[in-house]
Amino acid sequence: MSNLEQFKIDLKSLPCGTSVIAFDLDDAYFEALDAPVVRNGRLHCTLTIHSAEDFFDMDFHTEGSVVVPCDLCLDDMDQTILTDNHLVAKFGEDFSEDDDLVTVDENEGILDVAWYIYEFIELNIPLRHVHAPGKCNPAMMKILDEHSAARSGDGDSEGPVDSRWEALLKLKD
């Protein structure tokens, strides 16, 4: 089980200037987060923090790959991740989040970046993820082709046209 304590950054103890923190993310990280979309992966995240008195400019650079299901054959596939993200934190009275600005309770001074890193990864996954051509599970693709052919009517397009559409078809001519 991954120790998520390493993702809790004590902003009060950071020296003014630049600090760099590196995280290695693996299956245990995703399991500890109980991540909804990504369950497996191997990534490296470098967090660069530029700090002033109570203002923290954070740059996240994450690269590696995660395992997601293929949209066509449903087999697992590796999805490459390469993302750069930015987040700004400042001290305030209560914790709040507004777009790219996070207000951290001044008394506590701790920012947990574990979920932010996960969200950056998930947002970098394309909406459609499929294997490269020819790499999908052949058995599943055969079943998919059979069901697609059955749904399309197997060339039954020469059948009679519904009378409601007949007038519209005349407009095409």
At which residue do the structure tokens 């979309």 appear?
37
At 159 the pLDDT is 60
pTM score? 0.78
At 1 the pLDDT is 42
At 69-113, the pLDDT tens digits run 999 898 999 999 999 999 999 998 877 777 778 999 888 889 999
Q: What is the DSSP string of the chain?
A: ---GGGGEEEGGGSPSEEEEEEEEE-HHHHHHHT-SS--EEEEEEEEEEEE-SSEEEEEEEEEEEEEEE-TTT--EEEEEEEEEEEEEEEEESS-EEETTEEEEETTT-EEE-HHHHHHHHHHTS-SS--PPTT-S-HHHHHHHHHHHHHHHTSSGGGSPPPHHHHHHHHHH-
Angstrom distances, CA of residue 40 to CA of 68, 130, 142, 145, 164: 8, 17, 28, 29, 52
At 153 the pLDDT is 55
Residue 167 corresponds to which tokens in the numbers above? Answer: 């007038």
At which residue do the structure tokens 């790499």 appear?
135
